[in-house]
């Protein structure tokens, strides 16, 4: 009896094991055929309708190790200009249209370490920025930038500053997916420096090359410490600096409008550009600020965390002594601005050279009038 019971139990166990093996085999077969069919793109088309939809940023490559995009915190004032409508030099009609570049470029890293100790080799900078074209121009290849930005830098005797500036700014501007060109405007000779004139010349000369929408006027010794500080134009003139190391990470005064400023073409034309009459150091930026406010515009700045700058320390340049006339001049902007500026600018281009990382334009701005003739 007990033998019979044992035989029946064993038989049942064997049947259960056989059944399990069969189920196992069936599962394996199903899995095998599913993978194989997906490989043939058969079942996959039936079951995964969304698999071909690209990621919103499918066109943008994020370099390894970089942080995701940041959203500018509240307080970062100003609305971007409407997109430009001019011809695009990076896209032929037959090509597939590029998606617009994102408002928050995904490759940005946020705060950066900026130092001016290591020696900079420009050949290396070029190698690290292979897609920057002759003359220091860059157009994103994976998206259509909304604005074309000319960066105008007044210059004399500051070659080592230029190397640092290029080393830091090219990667920042590329990460910002800006369509830009770099213009170094050099005052020829050793006469008194005239920054305002060099800015005006940069504006006009850049426009001879490309239909720029936005003009950023930058000192050569100023480097932003956060790449979320977008080098673009807004619906109001912009002061990109909210805090500078030189001033203990503050501004020297609330209406300070020097260092790095940006205006759309229309905004710059509206104020007749910079004054041509500030020879030597100081005041041209205060006059520029008055032009902006006198024409009913308002300066906007980024949030303090984003608008931080480092300045390369240096001694005052020769032939750029304090302008003793500046105190009187900045009081008269309302009277002078309509006849002193872009519409009265006189200069001569002496030389224009396109280097791999920037365009160099050497200009003759004339001589400062004798003190007795300056009013
Ligand atoms: C101001 C200068 C600016 C300069 C800032 C920061 C003048 C005008 C007479 C008061 N303005 O004093 O040109 O950018 O300091 O250094 O000198």
DSSP string, 315-367: PPPTT--B-TTHHHHTT-HHHHTTTSSGGG---EEEEEEE-SS-EEEEEE---
Does residue 210 have its Cβ closer than 6 Å to ligand 1?
A: no
pLDDT surpasses 80 at 207: yes
CB 358 within 8 A of CB 159: no
Region 111-117: what's the mean pLDDT?
A: 97
CB 177 within 8 A of CB 102: yes
pLDDT surpasses 90 at 179: yes
pLDDT surpasses 60 at 328: yes
Q: What is the best residue among 244, 247, 286 to mutate for testing ligand 1's pocket, by most ligand atoms within 8 Å of CB? A: 286
6-44 confidence digits (pLDDT tens): 677 778 876 877 787 677 767 666 555 443 433 333 323
Neighbours of 359 (CB within 10 A): 22
**337 C-alpha to center of ligand 1: Å?**
18
Does residue 327 have its Cβ closer than 6 Å to ligand 1?
A: yes
Question: Which of 11-20, 26-35, 303-312, 319-328 is the least confident region?
Answer: 26-35
pLDDT surpasses 80 at 50: no
Measured torsion, CA atoms of residues 271, 85, 211, 199, in degrees rounded to the nearest 10: 30
Question: Which of 30-34, 74-78, 251-255, 339-343 is the least confident region?
Answer: 74-78
- Give the Cα separation of 111 and 206 in Å (integer): 30
DSSP alpha helix (H) spans, 214-301: 265-270, 284-294
221 catalytically annotated: yes
281 catalytically annotated: yes
Q: What is the best residue among 241, 254, 282 to mutate for testing ligand 1's pocket, by most ligand atoms within 8 Å of CB? A: 282
**158 C-alpha to center of ligand 1: Å?**
21
Does residue 280 have its Cβ closer than 6 Å to ligand 1?
A: no
Nearest CA to ligand 1 atom 15: 282
The residue count of the chain comes to: 375
Per-residue model confidence (pLDDT) at position 43 = 29
pLDDT surpasses 50 at 57: no
**253 C-alpha to center of ligand 1: Å?**
9
- Give the Cα separation of 84 and 213 in Å (integer): 7
- Give the Cα separation of 148 and 181 in Å (integer): 8
Per-residue model confidence (pLDDT) at position 21 = 63
Average pLDDT, the chain: 84
pLDDT surpasses 80 at 87: no
Measured torsion, CA atoms of residues 360, 361, 366, 367, in degrees rounded to the nearest 10: -10
Task: Measure the N-to-C terminal CA separation of the chain; round to a whole number of Å.
Answer: 129
**Which is catalytic among the residues 284, 286, 287, 340?**
284
Region 148-171: what's the mean pLDDT?
A: 95
- Containing 137, the helix (H) or strand (E) segment is strand 137-138
Residues 6+ apart with CB under 8 A from 258: 219, 285
**Which is catalytic among the residues 314, 317, 322, 331?**
314
Q: Please report the atom of ligand 1 found closest to the CA of residue 259.
A: 14
Is pLDDT larger for residue 316 or for residue 75? 316
CB 148 within 8 A of CB 211: yes
Buried b (16+ CB within 10 A) or exposed e, 288-309: bbbbbeeeebebbbbbebbbbb
Does residue 260 have its Cβ closer than 6 Å to ligand 1?
A: no
Neighbours of 320 (CB within 10 A): 18
**Helix, strand, coil percent content, the chain, rounded in steps of 5:** 30, 15, 50
Does residue 222 have its Cβ closer than 6 Å to ligand 1?
A: no
Match domain 122-373 to its CATH number in 3.40.630.30, 3.90.550.10, 3.80.30.20, 3.30.499.10: 3.90.550.10
**352 C-alpha to center of ligand 1: Å?**
31
pLDDT surpasses 50 at 76: no
Please calculate the CA angle 22-13-27 and round it to the nearest 5 degrees. 15
CB 349 within 8 A of CB 361: yes
Radius of gyration of the chain (CA): 31
Buried b (16+ CB within 10 A) or exposed e, 114-138: bebeeeeeeeebeeebeebeebbbb
pLDDT surpasses 70 at 374: no
**286 C-alpha to center of ligand 1: Å?**
7
Per-residue model confidence (pLDDT) at position 17 = 77
**198 C-alpha to center of ligand 1: Å?**
18
**200 C-alpha to center of ligand 1: Å?**
19
pLDDT surpasses 90 at 48: no
Domain locations in the chain as residue ranges: 122-373
Kindly indicate the confidence band of residue 316, based on its pLDDT and cuts at 50, 70 and 90: confident
Does residue 283 have its Cβ closer than 6 Å to ligand 1?
A: yes
CB 140 within 8 A of CB 203: no
CB 332 within 8 A of CB 264: no
Does residue 252 have its Cβ closer than 6 Å to ligand 1?
A: yes
Does residue 196 have its Cβ closer than 6 Å to ligand 1?
A: no
DSSP alpha helix (H) spans, 111-254: 122-128, 159-175, 195-209
Does residue 259 have its Cβ closer than 6 Å to ligand 1?
A: no
pLDDT surpasses 90 at 119: yes
pTM given for the model: 0.78
């Amino acid at each position: 009896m007990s033998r019979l019971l044992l035989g029946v139990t064993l038989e049942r166990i064997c049947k259960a094991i056989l059944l399990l093996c069969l189920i196992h085999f069936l599962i394996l077969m199903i899995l095998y055929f599913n993978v194989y069919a997906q490989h043939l793109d058969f079942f996959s088309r039936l079951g995964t309708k969304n698999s071909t939809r690209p990621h919103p940023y499918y066109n943008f490559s994020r370099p390894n190790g970089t942080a995701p995009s940041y959203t500018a915190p509240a307080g970062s004032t100003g609305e971007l200009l409407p997109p430009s409508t001019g011809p695009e030099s990076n896209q032929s009609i037959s090509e597939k249209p590029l998606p617009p570049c994102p408002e928050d470029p995904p490759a940005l890293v946020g705060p950066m370490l900026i130092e001016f100790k290591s020696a900079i080799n420009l050949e290396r900078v070029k190698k690290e920025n292979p897609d920057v074209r002759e003359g220091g121009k860059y157009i994103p290849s994976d998206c259509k930038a909304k604005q074309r930005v000319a960066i105008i830098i007044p210059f004399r005797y500051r070659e080592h500053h230029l190397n640092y500036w290029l080393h830091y700014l090219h990667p920042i501007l590329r990460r910002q997916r800006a369509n830009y060109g770099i213009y170094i405007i050099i005052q020829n000779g050793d006469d008194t420096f005239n920054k305002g004139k060099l800015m005006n010349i940069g504006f006009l000369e850049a426009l001879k090359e490309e239909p720029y929408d936005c003009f950023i006027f930058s000192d050569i010794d100023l480097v932003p410490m956060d790449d979320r500080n977008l080098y673009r134009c807004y619906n109001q003139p912009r002061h990109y600096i909210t805090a500078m190391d030189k001033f203990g990470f503050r501004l020297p005064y609330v209406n300070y409008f020097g260092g790095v400023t940006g205006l759309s073409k229309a905004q710059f034309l509206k104020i007749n550009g910079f004054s041509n009459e500030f020879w030597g150091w100081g005041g041209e930026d205060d006059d520029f600020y008055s032009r902006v406010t006198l024409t009913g515009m308002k300066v906007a700045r980024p949030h303090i965390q984003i608008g931080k700058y480092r300045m390369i320390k240096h001694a005052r340049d020769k032939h750029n002594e304090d302008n003793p006339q500046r105190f009187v001049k900045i009081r008269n902007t309302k009277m002078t601005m309509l006849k002193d500026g872009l519409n009265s600018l006189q200069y001569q281009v002496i030389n224009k050279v396109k280097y791999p990382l920037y365009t160099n334009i050497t200009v003759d701005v004339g001589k400062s009038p004798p003190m007795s003739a300056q009013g």
